[in-house]
Structure 1
Amino acid sequence: MKHLLATAGIVALTACSQQGEVYRSYFSEAGSLVDGGNFGNANMNNQLVMTGERGYVHDLSNRFSDEVLSTVNFAFNSAQLDETARDTLRTQATWIRQFPEVRFKVYGHTDAVGSEGYNKRLGLRRAQAVVAYLSTQGISRSRLEALVSFGETQPLIVTQGRERRNRRTVTEVSGFIKSHPMVMDGKYAEVVYREYIESAKPASDLIIVKEGSASESN
């Protein structure tokens, strides 16, 4: 009997607790019970989608990867840039300078030879080498948003041996500089399609007058 009374009491307390939550929710701010602390992240995501920023970042990322070789490769156990890598980075820098409103990330990778910890550090050194070289080409380090190392965790070629194609860095568009006037005005499309807009302008505003045309008009 005592056991039944105790069980009934627990059930009653649970019901009261649930009713109390419902009661408090009636007088509380909407969503206060369902917000688990992640509402801000979802709200930011919605903001990016509504303003179109996320889509424009994606479009600009596609342009960069289509128009520029975004990857450079390294010798085994090395973070030194060879002449081929420097040539690729000079091309990247030329493209990046056209878009002063845009931020970039450089991701470092290695092959699977060696320990995971060592390879993560090696991937970071490779990313740092790329950032250092881009900075010599007139790119502000503040625009290279982060140095990230995936080490050996994202191989292009799945193998436990040495593989040059896995020893690489990848440069990617990561977002926009919020303080830039065009970005503050929400002119993302003008940034993404700037080159196309410029190419639509006439090569010159000068009017070409053929010899003898003046006399012919008299």
Structure 2
Amino acid sequence: MGKKIECYIDIVSPYSFFAFSYLQANKAALEALGVEFEFIPVFLGGINVGSGNKPPFTLPAKAAYGKYDRKRAERYFGYDFEVPSFFPILSLLPQRALTFIKKTHPREKYEVAFLALFEAMWKGHVDVSVAENLASTLGKVFSKEEVQHILAGANSPEIKQELTGVTGRAVNELGAFGCPWFWVHDGKGNAEPFFGSDRFHYMWDYLGLPHRDLELLPGRGGGKL
């Protein structure tokens, strides 16, 4: 296998949204450098249970810190939104729908659908775990007939099992304990895990990609003691 980034994400995670957006924004540069990437739907709730992890909002100290951290991440990635009043959601249905879309549609359409669900959830405050809301959001990308086909597929035993299997593999074989979770192949037969939307500079080092790491620039005026 060549250089590849497997990105395991769930729409319930804002940091998955940031990672998705960042990779999409750098798609051309990564392709020019010979790096492939793939977005893989997983069920974050299953990852938490399988790994023994607890969502940050369930721990008071993490929840308090998260208010600052998420806003910082939003500014960095060019967003500005508030946590929906219905958060968190049970993301099984939308993640199953994305699993079905990934299997049955071209990559471009699949990624547009992923973005539509992310934006509906976090920018539009639409609870896409509700079937009607999911259908209306997907209706911005697909025809009415396609949406019905997707919803039927999302509820099929095969797709339910596939999402469960991929989530289990992420935990049991790749060590996942949250999202976004990356499994990165260096093109030399090696692979390592990376976690979170703020580890791309480590990832680029691992892949041997040219990049400018965090660098302080000369100050402009003032600041003298």
TM-score interval, normalised by the smaller of the two chains: under 0.3
Give the alignment's TM-score, normalised by structure 1: 0.23
Higher relative contact order (CA closer than 8 Å, sequence separation 6+): 2
